[in-house]
Amino acid sequence: MSENIMSPSIEPSLRKRLEALAVLDQRLGIKKKFISDSNRVNLMSKQIGDIYFDFSKTHISPELINIYSEFSDQIEFAKKRTDLFSGERINITEDRSVLHTLLRDPTNQGIDMRRPETLEQAQSSANQLLEQYAAITKELDARSTQVTDIIHVGIGGSALGPQLITEALSDVGGDITVHFIGNIDAHQLVAVLSACRVTSTLVIGVSKTFTTAETLQNINSIADWFAKHGEMNPLQNFYAVTAAPDNAVAYGIPEKNVVSFPQWVGGRYSVWSSVSLSAALVFGMDRFQEFLAGAASMDQHFYQTKPSENVCFLAAMLDHYYDNFMGASSKAIFAYDYRLRSLVDYLQQLETESNGKDRQVDGSPVDQETSPVVWGGVGTDVQHSVFQMLHQGTSLIPAEFILTLRADHEYPEHHLELLANGLAQTAALLAGQSLDEVKELHATEGLTDLAAKAKIFAGDKPSTTILLQRLNPTTLGALLAFYEHRTFCGGLFANINSYDQMGVELGKRLAKQLKPTIDPNAANVADGAKDAFDPSTQALITRVNDR
Binding stretches for ligand F6P (CB under 6 A): 155-158, 207-209, 212, 215, 267-268, 353, 501, 504
Q: Quick one: which of 500, 357, 359 has its CA closest to 3? A: 359
Residue 146 Cα to chain centre, angstroms: 34
- In the complex with ligand F6P, the residue whose CB is nearer, 268 or 357, is 268
SS3 306: coil
Please give the helix or strand (H or E) that residue 304 lies within, else none: helix 285-304
Whether residue 147 contacts residue 200, with contact meaning beta carbons closer than 8 Å, is answered with yes
The residue from 33, 320, 351, 353 that is catalytic is 353
Known catalytic membership, residue 351:
no
Whether residue 39 contacts residue 96, with contact meaning beta carbons closer than 8 Å, is answered with no
Least distance CB 338 / ligand F6P (angstroms): 25
Least distance CB 159 / ligand F6P (angstroms): 8
Known catalytic membership, residue 384:
yes
Least distance CB 63 / ligand F6P (angstroms): 38
Q: Quick one: which of 162, 468, 102 has its CA closest to 288? A: 162
Least distance CB 90 / ligand F6P (angstroms): 17
- In the complex with ligand F6P, the residue whose CB is nearer, 405 or 504, is 504
Least distance CB 299 / ligand F6P (angstroms): 22
Pairing of strands 51-54, 45-48: antiparallel
Report how far residue 498's alpha carbon sits from residue 501's, in angstroms, rounded to the nearest whole number: 8
- In the complex with ligand F6P, the residue whose CB is nearer, 127 or 209, is 209
Q: Quick one: which of 330, 307, 435 has its CA closest to 389? A: 330
Please give the helix or strand (H or E) that residue 469 lies within, else none: strand 463-470
- In the complex with ligand F6P, the residue whose CB is nearer, 216 or 540, is 216
- In the complex with ligand F6P, the residue whose CB is nearer, 56 or 352, is 352
Q: Quick one: which of 255, 260, 254 has its CA closest to 274? A: 260
- Which strands make up the sheet holding 45-48, listed edge to edge? 45-48, 51-54, 463-470, 399-406, 330-336, 373-378
- In the complex with ligand F6P, the residue whose CB is nearer, 87 or 267, is 267
Helix, strand, coil tally for the chain in percent (to 5):
55, 10, 30
Known catalytic membership, residue 508:
yes
Least distance CB 244 / ligand F6P (angstroms): 8
What is the CB neighbour count within 10 angstroms for residue 333?
24
Least distance CB 422 / ligand F6P (angstroms): 31
The residue from 229, 453, 508, 515 that is catalytic is 508
- In the complex with ligand F6P, the residue whose CB is nearer, 205 or 490, is 205
What is the CB neighbour count within 10 angstroms for residue 200?
13
Report how far residue 500's alpha carbon sits from residue 263's, in angstroms, rounded to the nearest whole number: 12
Report how far residue 117's alpha carbon sits from residue 210's, in angstroms, rounded to the nearest whole number: 24
Least distance CB 259 / ligand F6P (angstroms): 14
Least distance CB 101 / ligand F6P (angstroms): 18
Please give the helix or strand (H or E) that residue 242 lies within, else none: strand 239-242
Q: Quick one: which of 526, 101, 71, 446 has its CA closest to 294? A: 101
The residue from 79, 187, 256, 384 that is catalytic is 384
- In the complex with ligand F6P, the residue whose CB is nearer, 215 or 474, is 215
Pairing of strands 258-260, 330-336: unpaired
What are the phi and psi torsion angles at 217 (to 5°)?
Answer: -65, -40
Least distance CB 182 / ligand F6P (angstroms): 9
What are the residues facing 335 on neighbouring strands? 378, 402
What are the residues facing 374 on neighbouring strands? 331
- In the complex with ligand F6P, the residue whose CB is nearer, 207 or 237, is 207
- In the complex with ligand F6P, the residue whose CB is nearer, 319 or 353, is 353
Residue 537: exposed, middle, or buried by beta-carbon count in 10 A (0-12, 13-18, 19+)? middle
What is the CB neighbour count within 10 angstroms for residue 343?
25
Residues 6+ apart with CB under 8 A from 151: 178, 179, 181, 192, 196, 201, 202, 203, 204, 222
Residues serving a catalytic function are: 353, 384, 508
